[in-house]
Amino acid sequence: MSADRARSALVASLVRDGRVRTPAVRAALETVPRHLFLPALDPGGAYADVAVPIKVDDGVTVSSVSQPSMVAIMLEQLEAGPGHRVLEIGAGAGWNAALLAELVGPDGAVTTLDIDDDLVAGARANLDAAGFDGVDVVVGDGALGYPPAAPYDRIELTVGSTGVRPEWVAQLAPGGRLLLPLTVRGSQLSVAFAHTAPGRLHSRSVRSCAFVRLRGEGADPGAEVALPDGRWRVQPACGSDDADVPDPRALARATTGAGTDRPVAAAGTVADLWDGLGLWCAVADPGVVRLFGPAGGGVAPALFDLGGVRATLGLVAGDGCAVLLADPEATVRACGPDGDLAAERLAGLVAGWVDAGRPHAADLRIEAVVPSLAGPGGGAERGSGVDRAGPGDVVVDGAGTRLTLRWGPATG
């Protein structure tokens, strides 16, 4: 298959599946030759709907060319248009920067940066080969943005961050848009924020996503820990500096498979571990964790299959825990002296999710306030939010920005 035919087939599938909604994004994807940014692949590989790693350090992917369907979703979220000044953080191979340049046209400007010299050199060469020599490609730490070309009408991160950094908000023009893969209680979400007032952002759309993490000053190793046997890992919903973070070692009891089972209001899925039910539970209760382990032995056969790894959602309470089972469906297993308490809480969270209409990432609303930029009285006090989901808000602090999470329709 030729490159042109492969590109046309890819775009047609993205339109059919609802990833591409606007003529501008469709035209950009039809115009920019992705295969020139992945010269080692044949057209079939270059236009497959998969992410392609382009740099690996110590066995860990640190840069990739993003999956086309995710790129399309984020371009629709960003709403970049003619004349916009755009900053992209995470140059990769340069393909997304070329798409942005196509969207903003000759009257706009695109700056893309990356922390590694070799990635910047590669992106520059690819952009030149594809005829996009007007894109400014620079080396820099994305956590700091790029002040020389600010302010920007649009800022897009193609790497994941655990917070909204004040530097990005300070470099965003009034009424501009910040789009980033943001980790919220252990789930990575593509959040499009509108800059509504000094130091204040409101989400306009939220989607599930999965990106490599930001490196440099904004790097965060995460709070994931290994259980004593070394075979199981635990990812708390809260950060390691959160006063409410549970002791994940209590989950060691669950890995043996012993415990008491009870039914809950809904069955879970692999996707629910991060979106839907999993996101709802993690936002609502700081005792929520995600558990990962080997495919065989103990509780593993009863958990969710995640590409050869077993995983589940759990909750720690005191000296006990509860985990959601894939088999039997709609079942929670209580383990340890306080297991019944943990199971009661987890069952209540599942019931609350069902009663709320089974919301997913797209139903989450996020307000971000940078107190240092908002001025006197611009940010709410930490105690003004409540610590559980439901009728109130959940407040999360990090990276110099305060996030307020709530479920329900957008407030504009």
Quote the CA–CA distance of 32 and 9 in Å, as a whole number.
14
The answer to whether residue 208 is catalytic is no
Phi, psi values for residue 301, rounded to 5°: -60, -20
Quote the CA–CA distance of 294 and 26 in Å, as a whole number.
42
- HSE at residue 258, side-chain half, CA atoms within 13 A, is 6
Amino acid type, 46: A
Residues whose CB is less than 8 angstroms from the CB of residue 22 and which lie 6 or more positions away in sequence, other chains included: 76
What token pair was written down for 349? 């969270």
Active-site hit among 2, 63, 64, 372: 63
| Closest of 150, 149, 106, 148 to residue 131, by C-alpha | 106
Phi, psi values for residue 298, rounded to 5°: 60, -130
Task: Give CA separation, 112 vs 4, 36, 76, 82, 300, in Å.
Answer: 26, 18, 19, 17, 43
Q: Report the catalytic residues.
A: 63
